[in-house]
Structure 1
């Protein structure tokens, strides 16, 4: 875990209120016990009551969004799988998909295996997970049966996300090894410290999906605020007019954010929204 930084003093500040609020889930508004507090839910209701919009932006696939959808009343859409999927929280269906094309998927898998011996690979869809024999299941995979299939089938169709998990190397170490070999082919991030990296199609990120959503509603980046805690949040936070890192965030996120706020277990995001939408 990165060192916890004390939150800076915050005020709503001059200028107009945001028109769009984008937030990561795990480690940002989802607490250590896996819940979203009533205070946080009420804060996002305050955003809507003021006439602004909010969107949940996560590395989670849609299959892990059921509890979140229920918490927020099955309203609106969520950007899932680091921007690869747009998930309708009301219907539970994927309404847009930006998968990794097969040639890039095959090339990325080959390069990762060559650069990082012992790396297990999996392909994650909206509701399915398939993997090679080396891929280790974990907490995020507990709800789904993993299909162990040969490479020709595993990499034979476009996929929203390619996962790489190593038995020993940390997520930061994996990312440092993967970025140089995947540069120009696909985008690679990590969203936790569990020896896992996440690969999406070229041009796809939390930022690309958020920017597309903002354009649909005529909202400029300058009128958008974004909250996050992990490296996969950095593109979204860089795009938004104002970015906030929770105090428990990864060091790279703490360094990049415009403001550091209270941690996820302290309802830091809710505290900011209460001030912005007082």
Structure 2
């Protein structure tokens, strides 16, 4: 691949709470903006924490994007060709060590199967009050099975997910990061109840930013020629990586103190960000 960078540009947007409005739809204004980006030759990327299966529940196959970064960067799909380009997995020793840690600390967790079947998972519940955890298990009940140690050893898994009530979030996050230095722990706010904290555990190389960088190299796009848009803590790395970044008005207060703010996800925030970026 040539080392000479092109003049092409790329837009990377989060999905839930950013491009999707509260009713899980994309506004006509934002759809029009996505289509106009194509006419300008600008690469369009959605970067989401959703699995590929979950993304298909809200995005039709003819949705006007070029790439989908899913599972927080663990996988990339060429959306136009519907082709899986990249997938990353936790390996046997990482799975065993992480499982032991989560059991030791009495956490509710899920182990997701390898891509492309990572909407299937095993779940372990401590029986403590954790309604968001129960709700997610119920939401995916057709794909969820109780965890038992006989499933180990697993040769591959996409990720772990542990869910904690808001009051336990910070100490749990700090413990996971310090105890799993060779892995990547991503914190995000629950898309289900909007208050619980989700902690996703991936290989060290997995993030929305690393996947976006992979795509930028594929098209020889300089980071300076990219736009990043997000709404939550799991978007921080892409906001830091992109040449120009914005957060929507419904983002947490501390993110709005760190990045320029555009309209909310219910008020065409995506179109607002693109307009500001192009006019710079």
TM over 0.5: yes
**Are 1:85 and 2:75 matched, yes or no?**
yes
1:191 partner SS: strand
Q: How many residues align?
A: 259
TM-score of the pair, normalised by structure 2: 0.82
**Superposed counterparts of 1:169-184, under 5 Å:** 169=167, 171-172=169-170, 174-182=172-180, 184=181
- For residue 108 of structure 2, the aligned residue among 97, 119, 124 is 119
- 8 Å CA contact 1:41–1:72 kept in 2: the answer is no
Shift of 1:203: 1.7
- For residue 142 of structure 1, the aligned residue among 139, 143, 163 is 139
Shift of 1:181: 1.7
- 8 Å CA contact 2:160–2:200 kept in 1: the answer is yes
**Are 1:41 and 2:31 matched, yes or no?**
yes
Shift of 1:95: 3.0
- The match for 1:19 is 9
**Are 1:195 and 2:193 matched, yes or no?**
no
Shift of 1:152: 4.4
Counterpart Cα distance in 2 of 1:50 and 1:141:
43
Q: CA RMSD in A?
A: 2.6
Q: Deviations over 1:78-113 (max 9, x none)?
A: 000111011243465533211112211221222233
1:64 partner SS: helix
Shift of 1:274: 3.4
Structure 2: gaps of 5 or more residues:
1-6, 127-132, 190-194
Structure 1: gaps of 5 or more residues:
1-16
Shift of 1:272: 2.4
Structure with greater contact order relative to length (CA < 8 Å, sep ≥ 6): 1
Shift of 1:269: 1.5
- The match for 1:61 is 51
Counterpart Cα distance in 2 of 1:150 and 1:90:
39
**Are 1:237 and 2:234 matched, yes or no?**
no
Counterpart Cα distance in 2 of 1:154 and 1:95:
28
Q: Deviations over 1:9-54 (max 9, x none)?
A: xxxxxxxx97100000011111111111111111111111111111
- The match for 2:130 is none
